[in-house]
Structure 1
Amino acid sequence: MSSEVTSHFTQQTKLLAEMRSGGSLDWDIIIIGGGITGAGVLREAVRRGYRALLLEQGDFSSGTSSRSSKMVHGGLRYLAAGDLKLTKESLTERERLLAEAPGLVDRISFYFTLSKGLFPGRWAMAVILTIYDFIAGIRDHRYYNNRRLGQRFPGLQQGHLNGATAYSDAMVDDSRLVLRVLQESISAGGTAINYSKVSELLLEEGQVQGVVLNDPEGSDGIRLRAAAVINATGAWADRLRNQVNPEKRIRPLRGSHLIIPRNLMPVTDVLTSLHPDDKRGVYVYPWEGTTVIGTTDLDHDEDLDIEASINNAEVDYLLQAFNVQFPGHTISRVDIISSWAGVRPVIGSESSKDPSKERRDHAVWSDNGLITVSGGKLTTFRLIALDALNAALPQLPNAKPFSDERVFIAPDLTAKELIAEDPAWAQRLLGRYGIQAKAMLDSAPASEHQRIPGTDFCLAECRWAARNEAVLHLDDLLLRRTRLGMVMVHGGSELFPALEAICAAELGWSGDHWRHEAKRYLDIWQRFYSLPKSN
């Protein structure tokens, strides 16, 4: 099966050539957008027997789906707001992901600090969490007084606290989640192509009949027909939808994060507290061997075609949140390894001026044959995909019967069988690569199986991605297939000699090509993953 997956993931040049010559022009479903929603739609489409093509204008997950807060959660605040439906859906999907993708989606404890004189207090949280756990089918919440809380988070300022309530949610590498879903989709017969921009919808008598795909080797574009076109472009959804409906529904909201070295604040759990200025919840949490501080929640009024990045006000806001909590561990800009910012596609409402109070539901619209889906949460991507696909069913032939509703096919070996001496790391690899995990290790020399110092990544993963996962640029490799560019100082540039050799062998990059890619990558990292120049 691995060779089949490999050939599909690297077929872009072949398929485009086939399209130029008049082949592969007709599909059942064309999905526009290669984030988690588009990947989810592809997964559900191919299991129903549809001939489905996913097109992504940039790299897979290069928008919101590699820039989330990395949390798979039930949405405790949605329950507190009385939204039982969204909470139940989220918790059910959280438990499904934990069961199907261990090592990629992992349970973690969240500690919600209880501020004196502010809602919610200890007993209100106990009631909320009892309901939360009941819906999830687990029991995993408890109260920590200040003494015990200080043992979990040494140095935490406690004078304003009445302890904390701890409960379970989960963490994920969001970009690898997208890649894993795509891997499952492709192995089932789907097709996904990155760096393939849809320039316009193909309209006949006012009805959407397909798309026009930009052709890098021609000026006319490639006309692709489909019974159903699904617009899963997230924050960009209005842009495509406005070709058939002028309505504006998406409110892009930016959430930014800082990454600091783990040794400056070695946490193993998530700490949630209220920012001293606006009483918004902010997090300090472990991720990929580092510590993350996040997140902001601001209207993003900038050009969506330019990558989102943190601004100085957000840097100051997050530093203040951390330093007020940990006055004995104060940090400054010089301590920050990197940053990231993502744009959430929230369905805007007339009633809420406060970005943080907008609902996180998703919405599906049908306009002249175009199905548009946007909004929602990372956790519920499968349900969002099903809603989008159900909206397209009247335009599609009958689906084939199927019985297996799993998103992820379980690997046929255990973590101990993969790496006997380090089963915890092996489980991580199984979570990220699924049935491909052993092939990934076997494809690289033993010298590349060792973890890169200070990280949980290895060069074998880089070689595998370059060979098999549609890497076109160095930022694909360092910012999404792996997260080395985010967790290593200077964007991981110390790895350049080893990566140059890998890219030469696997991608055929010449010395000049490598130098161009290295320069391009460092510019991207400096502009969008480092810090802005201080005022």
Structure 2
Amino acid sequence: MTAVNENWNAAWREQMLPTLADERWDLIVIGGGISGAGIVREAARRGWRCLLLEQRDFAWGTSSRSSKMVHGGLRYIAKGQWRLTRDSVRERQRLLDEAPGLVEPMSFLMPHYRGGFPGPRVLSGLLSIYDALAGRRSHRFHDAQQLRFLTPGLKEHDLVGGTRFVDALTDDARLVMRVLHEARADGAVVLNGLRVTQVLREDGRVCGVEVEDGESGNALQLRCAVLAVATGAWAERLRPSDSPRQLRPLRGSHLLLPGWRLPVAQALTFLHARDRRPVFVFPWEGATVVGTTDLDHREDLDQSASISGEELDYLLAACTQAFPAAELTATDVLSTWAGVRPVVGAAGEHQGKPSNETREHVLWQEPGCVTLAGGKLTTFRPQAIEVLKACADMLGRAFEDDAAPVFAAVQPSPIPGLSPQQWRRLAGRHGRDLPRLAQLIAEVGQETVGATDTLWAELAFACEAEMVLHLDDLLLRRTRLGLLLARGSEEHFAAIRTLCQPRLAWSDERWQAEIQRYRLLWQRDHGLPEVTP
């Protein structure tokens, strides 16, 4: 069976579904976030017959609602997590080298105030270790006068100066899609809207899964030699009922502000006055992100996480603390998002502060099945290698990390009418699909949607070749227009319909139903929290 099809869309999905049960898969991966994408990409590259199943949409969970940072985790050094920091800075550099335009360096500034902690010397010491692990020096101190130019509007009272270092940012949902496209190019079958309802076992060994199609309701039984579970915060759902519960879901919420309302040229990180937790403000996609919280998430995981009123107040207080003259209020917020981190932590009364939990991952194994719990976006590749080594042992296969690139190199091929910066952005986000996108740019034009950097042609491409099943797939994950434009990009709905409805083959009734569904979803998950009287 060949998985690669020029139009990876709902019509292709409908043709593919009846054939899945005919295959005896080497590997089935459950979970379409960055962890599952990494696993299926590395398996497909090695010639395994592999299938990825996602119950909702690719990057629907934490992988589209992260803090967008590809970083080593400076605070992990202070906690003595040397291996995690080392792996993170190495993978950060790998991604910067392999995916320019998608993963980009970003300067971070930590201001120092008289009597505050950490002071310049302490932070410089930590950053020297950070730089040594990364193999390059990237930090320096700036005095208060320099900071006035680097970060206008920053609170000046008692300001001593600030320390600058370099990490990286990404579009997390596009990172997932780029990895999945690479997996498909190497023969993987990748499907969304398929929920695993049961793990099948024979003679004490996992042998497959029972699946329900979220679009039709039809059920399938699929067989595999080994199963990899990479479902993030849902990782315990499919484990045997007598397995100990070890996951501690933690919620991190964020605000997105218009870039003009809080203009910053680089990231700012500082300790919140309320609880001394690190928070940050940084530029992203022409807007400004403020984050993050770190709270136990006690709500139903099957319901999309959203910001609470207390978290909104906390993040606005952080803005006031760092930029008092901006006088930001809730009315300035463009959109919000909340992700649930799959943290492996202590249980019950032994739980400490959420921010003290390790971000290390662990593997849970039973015959025929490997479950990945915990982990970080930055280290998705070594996590995938570790999972596949365990799977290979169960299959009796040899396996080693050959350190091959995750992403195929994109050959320089300028697109008429686009600047080098636009080309870099598109090459990073679309990789080997850039020639197809260039054809659509020639057809649709070079215009961007509103004040964003997103081309209308990118919407067309997503509809034709990126498995869009619902409108939120298109506006919240294939593109980020639903976050970057007011009210979820409502003023552009008519133009989006003209371009996208024919490509999605949706009837007028289907389009109206999708619009209604999207509006409700956006307000619940990405709008401001309801104020209780």
Do these two structures clear the TM 0.5 threshold for a shared fold by scoring above it? yes
SS in 1 for 2:100: coil
Deviation at 1:8, TM superposition (A): 5.2
Partner of 1:273: 270
Distance (Å, rounded) in 1 between the aligned partners of 2:375 and 2:119: 28
Distance (Å, rounded) in 1 between the aligned partners of 2:282 and 2:215: 46
Contact 1:48 1:399 in 2 (8 A): no
Deviation at 1:529, TM superposition (A): 0.3
Q: 1:253-264 counterparts in 2 under 5 A?
A: 253-264=250-261
Contact 2:174 2:477 in 1 (8 A): yes
Which piece of structure 1 moves more, 302-311 or 265-274?
265-274
Which piece of structure 1 moves more, 73-82 or 337-346?
73-82
Partner of 1:68: 66
Matched residues, number = 528
Distance (Å, rounded) in 2 between the aligned partners of 1:262 and 1:212: 46
Distance (Å, rounded) in 2 between the aligned partners of 1:450 and 1:501: 15
Change (3 A) 1:285 1:434: same
Distance (Å, rounded) in 2 between the aligned partners of 1:521 and 1:286: 26
In the alignment, does 2:356 pair up with 1:382?
no
> TM-score scaled by structure 2?
0.95
Deviation at 1:47, TM superposition (A): 1.3
Structure 1 residue ranges, 4+ long, deviating more than 6 angstroms after superposition: 217-220
Q: 1:13-28 counterparts in 2 under 5 A?
A: 13-19=14-20, 23-24=22-23, 26-28=24-26
Change (3 A) 1:78 1:103: same
Partner of 1:213: 211
Deviation at 1:276, TM superposition (A): 1.1
After superposition, the CA RMSD in angstroms is 2.0
Contact 1:448 1:459 in 2 (8 A): yes
Change (3 A) 1:270 1:308: same
Distance (Å, rounded) in 2 between the aligned partners of 1:452 and 1:7: 23
Show CA shifts across 1:296-327 (max 9, x none). Answer: 00000000000000010000000011012111
Amino acid aligned to 1:465? A
Distance (Å, rounded) in 2 between the aligned partners of 1:400 and 1:73: 28
In the alignment, does 2:351 pair up with 1:364?
no
**Aligned partner of 2:166 among 165, 168, 176:** 168
Amino acid aligned to 1:362? H
Contact 2:389 2:400 in 1 (8 A): no
Distance (Å, rounded) in 1 between the aligned partners of 2:88 and 2:46: 24
Partner of 1:125: 123
**Aligned partner of 1:324 among 321, 340, 350:** 321
**Aligned partner of 1:466 among 456, 463, 468:** 463
Contact 1:8 1:191 in 2 (8 A): no
Partner of 2:237: 239
Which piece of structure 1 moves more, 274-283 or 396-405?
396-405
SS in 2 for 1:411: coil
Amino acid aligned to 1:250? L
Flag structure 1 segments of 5+ consecutive residues without an equivalent: none
> TM-score scaled by structure 1?
0.95
Partner of 2:13: 12
Distance (Å, rounded) in 2 between the aligned partners of 1:514 and 1:219: 21
Deviation at 1:364, TM superposition (A): 0.6
Partner of 2:42: 44
Amino acid aligned to 2:368? G
Amino acid aligned to 2:255? L
Contact 1:450 1:458 in 2 (8 A): yes
Partner of 1:509: 506
Contact 1:48 1:402 in 2 (8 A): no
Which piece of structure 1 moves more, 115-124 or 430-439?
115-124
Deviation at 1:504, TM superposition (A): 2.3
Contact 1:340 1:528 in 2 (8 A): yes
SS in 2 for 1:323: helix
**Aligned partner of 2:292 among 285, 289, 295:** 295
Q: 1:40-439 counterparts in 2 under 5 A?
A: 40-215=38-213, 221-243=219-241, 245-349=242-346, 352-396=351-395, 398=397, 405-414=404-413, 417-419=414-416, 421-439=418-436
Change (3 A) 1:410 1:278: same
Contact 1:272 1:284 in 2 (8 A): yes
Show CA shifts across 1:356-411 (max 9, x none). Answer: 11110011110243210021111000011111111111222536899671000011
Change (3 A) 1:300 1:58: same
Contact 2:25 2:50 in 1 (8 A): yes
Change (3 A) 1:325 1:202: same
Contact 2:106 2:166 in 1 (8 A): yes
Flag structure 2 segments of 5+ consecutive residues without an equivalent: none
Which piece of structure 1 moves more, 440-449 or 277-286?
440-449
Deviation at 1:191, TM superposition (A): 0.9
Distance (Å, rounded) in 1 between the aligned partners of 2:214 and 2:9: 19
Contact 2:120 2:163 in 1 (8 A): yes
SS in 2 for 1:371: strand
Deviation at 1:452, TM superposition (A): 1.8
Distance (Å, rounded) in 2 between the aligned partners of 1:352 and 1:188: 43
Distance (Å, rounded) in 2 between the aligned partners of 1:35 and 1:220: 24
